[in-house]
Structure 1
């Protein structure tokens, strides 16, 4: 499944790039067409803007020469091509071809885009084009650069994820924690579209639709309205463990769209001023509302909040592009101030909602607290597997917490479904919309029950890594006399 998805996604991405080549070219079957080397060189020429040497014919020698030219060019960019050999590409080995294409996508598409966010998210930035030098000093420099690039690879992924989180954060509780199951509902795609082009989607309606309907709608709108190539299908994403690389490739196109839509400085500053005025008006409106409803019952308070949020969500649409935009290097002072005011207002709204949730009649208040605890656990980043010892204990703690929470699932489900929403005067205790929201959140946690298997797997993985590390440490626990032998030990480590 994963290999099939990657092949389809990578082929579509390549064809979107090859359409810009002169003359345009197209790949029909990735494993077969890449063997000749010509289309691989076409792809690299478009991405790099350079003219690369090539053999014009299609015999075995000429195809081999073209692939060698492509790999030599990639190595000149300090890219690691681990276990990628010319013979394997000529044979069309799926894992090797997909690994090569992913290296190209990550470097030329994701990494270069993410570097525009490097300063914003305090990630390291580096020059990817290193000159080739055969001296020992240069060799050490290349090794050091390769290690830095490995760290940056993690940072580029994180920068793209932080950007996606930020686009979604403008639309309430749409959590993105990875490039896998977080996207399954289709809501993050729709939220990003709504941020980039307000008015194209209705997120409230989307929350009541199925995953496949949302994914289909998101891919359709992105293709028709934003001119973003359709790299994925709903069935590629609406599965237990969708392919991370395919989703990253697709999400990066939205960042590309955002970057291309960069406005002039003068226009931006005017929009910032308008946004600041609107934010100040909203903050004043919220403060008055909190004072006016202080002595009201829960039902009336919730009704006022619903009315405020409906107007707020409608009025914020024109300001979404400027609220989510970032300059190439860093946020200017006025934009930084605007972001702070936005974060402050959202914090006040969330605090208001939290207080209202605490006022829910029993037993709904307990169910709400349980839901929030489960959702918080879902949204937390998983431990860093680079420290298997620490991660192992953290995973074990999460598993214990998770199992404890899931013990209450059935009883909360029964209570919520049997709750009689009326008081002694036959008046509703809770707004129907709030009950529906709680039911929807609770039913979404049915899928979360598979999370335990996921946690157990990672716990086992960390244990295996930790055991392997301890085994190696025991083997290496001996004296080394020469500088060379110590360097060899460090290299192995």
Structure 2
């Protein structure tokens, strides 16, 4: 006679829906822990001297590695932690620490990278976003601004970093003729084909996509992670067994995929040899930022006695125009933050950005 199932006298756990959910949650926590720990160590290796996290739930208790991480991501010295329950960190509560690290990854890494994306992408990508069921929310019209100032994307969507990253992935896949349907950051990645398609788009000579269908999921994933680490210097945050599961952990996959976008942003454009040096480019962008600051100041003065609605409209027009043109600034700032030392021109660029940012915040409060 067949032996009894789980929950009989053998002491097994009954596999009812609640227990299955609990086991899946624990599995996702473990994958997040490994991925986030790898991501943190990749960032902390940029410090001088570098630091290292061995156990995510215990090594953050004194706050020193957390401060190190925030300094690397912001490019500024951190003095104190804000709105963080220190007792939860001291106790090593997994949900709190994983949530905290995900917030840092999303806002300081993924969103910053997504902001550098060119929003003049293919209409097909934009149209396909509207059909996605993975995220809540529907197209929201942007604030009214003069014609020609905003991109098609801004006119139709307020796009989250998650959607922007997905749109970038789909563009990479289309670029190399990959037919895989990437609809989310979960099961769409299980076969490994999407990772290899991104690699093929960034470095065509590295990958033969015709071999993908003849290999197993784990073989494709191993190939992608190995090539990304060896050829693109992208830290191996995931293992094949983390992705080749029925319900992959989406935050971990997003964290890893964002590194490919960073690599893409750091790649020289085809005509870079015809362009000016980094120092000259920093000077040009600094000049543009100073002009933008002057424009903002003049707008603030001109609307001093205007109504709230008029002030808001002026600020909104400036913000939309500035957002559209900020890609070179964000790209340069991101590369500057990764350098241990900055040139005089790069210091001037960062100072000009900080000044404009403060003025925007001030005007936003006033309006």
Is the shorter-chain TM-score for this pair beyond 0.5, marking a shared fold? yes
CA 1:23–1:258: 2 relative to 1, 3 Å:
same
Match of 1:163 among 165, 168, 179: 168
Residue in 2 that maps onto 1:250: 256
CA 1:265–1:185: 2 relative to 1, 3 Å:
same
Is the 8 Å Cα contact of residues 118 and 159 (structure 1) preserved in structure 2? no
CA 1:264–1:185: 2 relative to 1, 3 Å:
closer
Residue in 2 that maps onto 1:34: 60
Is the 8 Å Cα contact of residues 199 and 206 (structure 2) preserved in structure 1? yes
Match of 2:201 among 185, 191, 195: 195
Which runs of structure 2 are paired with 1:365-384 in the superposition (5 Å)? none
Is residue 226 from structure 1 mapped to residue 219 from structure 2 by the alignment? no
SS in 1 for 2:206: coil
Stretches of structure 2 that go unaligned for 5 or more consecutive residues are 1-26, 127-156, 276-325, 329-367
Residue 192 of structure 1 deviates from its aligned partner by 0.4
Residue in 1 that maps onto 2:300: none
Residue in 2 that maps onto 1:204: 210
Residue in 2 that maps onto 1:421: none
Is the 8 Å Cα contact of residues 45 and 51 (structure 1) preserved in structure 2? yes
Is residue 241 from structure 1 mapped to residue 247 from structure 2 by the alignment? yes
Stretches of structure 1 that go unaligned for 5 or more consecutive residues are 54-68, 73-80, 124-150, 270-326, 330-493
Residue in 1 that maps onto 2:30: 4
SS in 2 for 1:178: coil
Residue 118 of structure 1 deviates from its aligned partner by 5.9
Is residue 109 from structure 1 mapped to residue 136 from structure 2 by the alignment? no
What CA distance in whole angstroms lies between the structure 1 residues aligned with 2:272 and 2:190?
A: 39
Aligned positions, number:
219
Is the 8 Å Cα contact of residues 61 and 90 (structure 2) preserved in structure 1? yes
Which runs of structure 2 are paired with 1:255-266 in the superposition (5 Å)? 255-263=261-269, 265=271
Is the 8 Å Cα contact of residues 118 and 327 (structure 2) preserved in structure 1? no
What CA distance in whole angstroms lies between the structure 1 residues aligned with 2:178 and 2:230?
A: 26
What CA distance in whole angstroms lies between the structure 2 residues aligned with 1:20 and 1:214?
A: 30
SS in 2 for 1:199: helix
Supply the RMSD in Å over aligned alpha carbons: 2.4
Residue 240 of structure 1 deviates from its aligned partner by 0.7
Residue 215 of structure 1 deviates from its aligned partner by 0.2
Is the 8 Å Cα contact of residues 110 and 156 (structure 1) preserved in structure 2? yes
Residue 52 of structure 1 deviates from its aligned partner by 1.9
SS in 2 for 1:107: helix
Once the two structures are superposed, residues 101-138 of structure 1 have per-residue CA deviations (whole angstroms, 9 ceiling, x without a partner) of: 00000011100000012633599xxxxxxxxxxxxxxx
Q: TM (normalized to structure 1)?
A: 0.42
Residue 172 of structure 1 deviates from its aligned partner by 3.1
